[in-house]
Structure 1
Amino acid sequence: MIWEILPRAGIVPSLFLPPMTTTLQMLVVEAPIYARHMLVTLQEVGIAMIFACGGGVLCGLAIGGAASARQIMLPMFSGLFAVPLVVLYPLFTAWFGIGSESKIIFASVYGFLPTLLGTAAGVQTVDRQFLIVARSLGATRMQKLWHVYLPATLPTVLAAFRLGGALAIVGVVVAEMLTSTAGIGFLISKYRTLLDSPRVYAAVVLVLVLAIAFDGLVQVLERRLGIAQQQSGRSVGKRSVASAVA
């Protein structure tokens, strides 16, 4: 592979790009250390995704489905999303300390905004006939959100979920690199300071594995919901509302 050939041939200095075999050897030799720090990162990422993805989808459905809330709150969230939140991370450490709490909250906010905006944008594309049927059947607001908006926006919601989850992973790792004593981001920052390139790349490989695993889980979810997605533009909304209100 190119990763192995370039440093071995001296084309790229090993300080900048260590051979792949050396990097993988570090993962094997120091597996307990990487496993311990990976567990910390996984815990922080898992909690952050609950707030970022779960909260973002729910808030996006609620805001996107209400015209008044959409007009008032979407411009505000869009403006916040344009702000590079990394520069605000010192505020998170000042408010919540340098422990896991600041990492989780920072990553939650980092992934929450794109998830909310993507979901709200999908809600605005829902066929209005579904809403007319829902109102004629006397559906409540919660029934509209759960049985009309969510089924009709599944592709958009899953795309927003994928983006929000990926940014939650990035948020945790970046926060660990800035101020932390544990986690994969901490190892990257530590070994970078020591100019230990093989160990730095070993930690980076673990971050890539985590991101790829998350994307794979989303793809599995998409395949399992494939039938619902195919029907979302046709009759799922009407049947869901009819069955819920009946």
Structure 2
Amino acid sequence: MTPAHVRWLLLLVLLVLWEALPRAGVVPTLFLPTLSGSLLALWQDKAEYFANLLVTLNEVLIALIFACGGGVLLGLVIGASGVMRRLMLPLASSLFAVPLVVLYPLFTAWFGIGSESKIVFASVYGLLPTLLGTAAGVQTIDHHLVTVAASMGANRRQQILRVYVPATIPTVLAALRIGGALVIVGVVVAEMLTSSAGIGFLISRYRTLLDSENVFAAILLVLFLAIAFDAIVQFVERRTAGWQRSGQGTGDGASFA
């Protein structure tokens, strides 16, 4: 049995248990409704869920641009410079150790309770692990590649684009997985705390009403977002496999003119 078959089998077992345990009375439906009940609630209120999903998607996509794009860019710049690594990495590591959710009231005070505070909070939440992962990947690059690129006339920008970026793709994508997942978590958590729209708002509202089926219906949408993002990262990983190999062979007569 292949690993893929094992993963699908485990997923099937979990789905069967999700349906069977509440139906058999082993777990109270208040704590865990049946899978079919959650899916039915999702279908019956699909218009409401779709409208709120669009709100969450908009916030997630904007936050991903800042968190992942900014994290990769800053990670490359900081990781490629010894001075910047010594100055910035300890600070970034210290900030990452702080549970940022406790600082969310500050974000609402600075940016209000609208989408802006959710986007900024989620951007910061996802930026730090992306930055740290990218900077760590830069430090694993074979310095002979950088030396060869410099001897062939590559300036700093060309070295980053033609050597650092291709060689760090696996580490960067691993960092993106973590950073992107935290962006989704950050948006949903922020919506649960202060919001009048979004999937997190629905989770908080239905939790207050003790409507477990609708709570889990909203949770299923969050899981869908996380799985979809991971699938996109895997697609990018497959598409950039050739570029990664070319970056590892930069010194084999490549031109930087």
TM-score of the pair, normalised by structure 2 = 0.92
Aligned CA RMSD, in angstroms, stands at 1.2
Match status 1:238 vs 2:238: no
| Count of matched residue pairs | 242
Displacement of 1:169: 0.5
- Mapped to 1, the partners of 2:246 and 2:186 lie a distance apart of 35
- 1:213 offset after TM fit, Å? 0.5
CA distance in 2 between partners of 1:161 and 1:3 (Å): 30
Aligned match of 1:83 in 98, 103, 109? 98
Distance 2:177 2:210 in 1: 33
Q: 1:184-223 alignment to 2 at 5 Å? A: 184-223=199-238
Counterpart in the other structure of 2:69: 54
1:232 Cα deviation (Å)? Answer: 4.2
Q: How far apart are the structure 1 equivalents of 2:39 and 2:92?
A: 42
Aligned residues with identical type, % of pairs: 65
Equivalent residue for 1:96? 111
1:8 aligns with 2:23: yes
Q: Deviations over 1:3-61 (max 9, x none)?
A: 11111111111101111111100111000000000000000000000000000000000
Choose which of 164, 182, 186 in structure 2 pairs with 1:171: 186
- Contact kept, 8 Å, 2:141 with 2:167, in 1: the verdict is yes
**TM-score of the superposed pair, with normalisation by structure 1:** 0.96
- Stretches (4+) displaced over 6 A: none
The match for 1:133 is 148
Provide the rounded CA distance (Å) in 2 between the counterparts of 1:38 and 1:238.
47
Query: Is contact 2:166–2:245 with CA below 8 Å preserved after alignment?
Result: no
How far apart are 1:137 and its partner, in Å? Answer: 1.7
What's 1:180 paired with? 195
Gaps in structure 2 of 5+ consecutive residues: 1-15
What is the deviation of 1:106?
A: 0.3
User: How far 1:231 moved relative to its partner?
Assistant: 4.8
